[in-house]
């Protein structure tokens, strides 16, 4: 009987102690939420489109591009960012950075650029990112 009582006390004490533990941002340590992001990706010879909705996402994603053009339309937008940040890097085959930007708030951007080298890759680096992001690269006719 004393053994069962001691085990019950130890379990109760552990539960009380763990339930009061919190991370620096105030979230509970007990049972962290790990939900995979929702990613939509489409890449062709004329365009590259990417979108993500994520919660507490930390990862680096690299996509090789097939888009070959002498001019390109770039558009990207973030919304619902409540935590973390991300970096967007779009590079040409000659090493030129077409886009290099760190995003941590709501933003929408659209641009048209003449390029002398084909697109090479897109690198997206997420750091505890919670929000939505959309990127589109299209040949400009």
* 79-138 pLDDT, tens digit each: 999 999 999 999 999 999 999 999 999 999 999 999 988 999 999 999 999 999 999 999
Other Cβ atoms less than 10 A from the Cβ of 5: the count is 9
Burial label for 12, CB within 10 Å (0-12, 13-18, 19+), is: exposed
Over residues 25-65, the pLDDT tens digits come to 555 554 456 679 999 999 998 999 999 999 999 999 999 99
- pTM score of the predicted model: 0.75
| Ranges of each domain in the chain | 1-32, 33-139
Q: What residues contact 95, with CB distance under 8 A and at least 6 apart?
A: none
DSSP reduced 3-state for 36: coil
Look at residues 129, 128, 86, 136 and name the one whose alpha carbon lies nearest to residue 111: 136
CATH class (in words) of the domain with range 33-139:
mainly beta
């Amino acid at each position: 009987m004393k053994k069962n009582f001691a085990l019950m006390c130890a379990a109760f004490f552990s539960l009380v102690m763990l339930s009061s533990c919190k991370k620096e941002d105030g979230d509970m340590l007990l049972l962290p939420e790990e939900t995979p992001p929702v990613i939509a990706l489409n890449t062709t010879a004329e365009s590259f489109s990417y979108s993500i909705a994520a919660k507490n996402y930390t990862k680096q994603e690299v996509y090789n591009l097939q888009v070959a053009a002498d001019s390109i339309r770039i558009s990207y937008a973030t919304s619902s960012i409540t935590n973390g940040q991300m970096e967007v890097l779009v590079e040409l085959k000659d090493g030129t950075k077409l886009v290099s930007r760190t995003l941590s708030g709501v933003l929408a951007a659209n641009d048209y650029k003449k390029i002398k080298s084909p697109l090479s890759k897109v690198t997206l680096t997420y750091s505890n990112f919670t929000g939505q992001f959309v990127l589109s690269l299209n040949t400009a006719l």
